[in-house]
């Protein structure tokens, strides 16, 4: 009797579990599909918002004059809407950041992957990734109060606001991205390649530079492109440390203005909605969106083009 009751109870539990599994198999894909659709509609909404206001702006200002003009003075009279000074300032900051971050980030990744003992790696990598969690406004004041005074000892003519200190600190900010993604790509390289190189008499440095790095090149280059994209969209560091002077220059010791810092400057003021000055926010934002969009496409193409499968 007890055996029959136990079998019946067990059968009932199995039926309940199967029913529960069938329900979850239907609900979870539905929920995940909603999340995927939501991200698509969010992107469409962002693009629509940018285009809606930008089209109104470009009805008043020819797009060719906007893209090729060398003077940016949308608020002061006479008004001029050449975005090249903002674009040049953005690329100058980003270039300095990448020049600073790529060698250090790549060297850190090689050390953590090929040289560091497990205990050291377990300490250094989390500490390095803490940099990614520091608020960017803190980075901005670090550039203003620490990096700039140090650089002024080397360059006495440097002003308080300048592109060099802002670019270096943006490089520090993207350093964890380059180091972590590159180290993950190198870690994915099979150990058999390393062992084969060691069997042929290669040194550890030769294995790291000639075997592991080429095998992980797709992930490494993708980390560079993503870091470039992240640096180009940085806002608070450049707003605090680089200044607010839209100047088309290659001199990193001068004050400049980036596209993101201009958006912050105008949105924090009293620009009436619907005016031409208000439209510049969306025109500059659309330009920045297009640049980062193509950089992300480039990163995906590089990852597919140079991907090695083992």
CA distance 34 to 31: 5
> Is 94 a residue whose pLDDT tops 90?
yes
> Considering the chain, what is the average pLDDT of its residues?
84
pLDDT of residue 293: 86
pLDDT over 90 for what percent of the chain? 18
Can you give the residue ranges of every domain in the chain? 2-60, 72-305
Determine the pLDDT at residue 19: 57
152 or 299: which leads in pLDDT = 152
**pLDDT (mean) for 192-216:** 86
> Can you say whether residue 201 is alpha, beta or left, with left for phi > 0 and alpha for psi between -120 and 50 degrees?
left
Residues 93, 56: Cα–Cα separation, whole Å: 30
pTM: 0.83
Residue 7 pLDDT class (50, 70, 90 cuts) = very low
| Distance of alpha carbon 255 from alpha carbon 247, whole angstroms | 8
pLDDT in tens, 207-262: 888 888 888 888 888 888 888 888 998 888 998 888 888 888 888 988 899 998 88
147 vs 132 pLDDT, higher one = 147
**Helix residue spans in the chain (DSSP H):** 2-60, 63-68, 84-110, 118-130, 136-142, 148-154, 163-187, 191-199, 204-206, 213-215, 217-232, 236-241, 259-267, 276-305
The pLDDT, as a whole number, for residue 82 is: 87
Percentage of the chain lying above the pLDDT 70 cut: 90
- Homologous superfamily (CATH) of 72-305 is MetI-like (1.10.3720.10)
């Amino acid at each position: 009797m007890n055996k029959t009751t136990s079998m019946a109870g067990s059968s009932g539990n199995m039926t309940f579990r199967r029913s529960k599994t069938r329900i979850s198999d239907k609900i979870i894909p539905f929920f995940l599909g909603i999340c995927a659709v939501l991200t698509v509609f969010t992107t469409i909404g962002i693009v629509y918002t940018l285009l809606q206001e930008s089209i109104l702006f470009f009805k008043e200002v020819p797009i060719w004059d906007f893209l090729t003009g060398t003077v940016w003075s949308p608020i002061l009279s006479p008004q001029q809407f050449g975005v090249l000074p903002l674009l040049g300032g953005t690329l100058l900051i980003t270039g300095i950041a990448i020049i600073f971050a790529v060698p250090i980030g790549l060297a850190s990744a090689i050390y953590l992957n090929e040289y560091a003992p497990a205990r050291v790696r377990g300490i250094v990598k989390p500490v390095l990734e803490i940099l990614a969690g520091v608020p960017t406004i803190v980075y901005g004041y670090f550039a203003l109060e620490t990096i700039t005074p140090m650089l002024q000892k080397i360059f006495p003519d440097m002003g308080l606001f300048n592109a060099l200190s802002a670019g270096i600190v943006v490089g520090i900010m993207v350093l964890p991205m380059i180091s972590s993604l590159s180290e993950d790509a190198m870690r994915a390289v099979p150990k058999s390649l390393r062992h084969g190189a060691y069997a042929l008499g290669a040194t550890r440095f030769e294995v790291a530079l000639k075997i592991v790095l080429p095998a992980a090149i797709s992930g490494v280059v993708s980390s560079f492109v993503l870091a470039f994209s992240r640096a180009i969209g940085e806002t608070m560091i450049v707003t605090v440390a680089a200044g607010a002077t839209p100047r088309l220059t290659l001199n990193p010791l001068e004050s400049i203005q980036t596209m993101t810092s201009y958006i912050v400057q105008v949105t924090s003021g009293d620009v009436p909605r619907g005016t031409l000055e208000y439209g510049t926010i969306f025109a500059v934002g659309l330009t920045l969106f297009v640049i980062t969009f193509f950089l992300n496409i480039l990163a995906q193409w590089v990852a597919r083009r140079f991907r090695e499968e083992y």
